[in-house]
Amino acid sequence: MVEGRGEFEWARTSWILATYINSNRKKGSRPVKPEDLNPYLDTGAGREKKVNLTQHETVEVLRKVFTNGK
């Protein structure tokens, strides 16, 4: 049950992050897909392996994204 909640939370978080990143990306750069940011999704053939972050690392990444690295 805890694993399912984590998957649900990351699905929502990856959509929010992808929307934020895509709204602030430079013209001509490739759009980010929510699947690229979700560590729970299967990597599939030809895709990079996802990195599993600890809770502290996740908080640090989100803090840097939403506060412009401050």
**pLDDT per residue over 24-65, tens digit each?**
888 888 888 888 888 777 655 555 555 666 778 778 877 877
CA distance 63 to 58: 9
- The structure's pTM equals 0.54
Reported as a pLDDT band with limits 50, 70 and 90, residue 69 is low
CA distance 70 to 27: 24
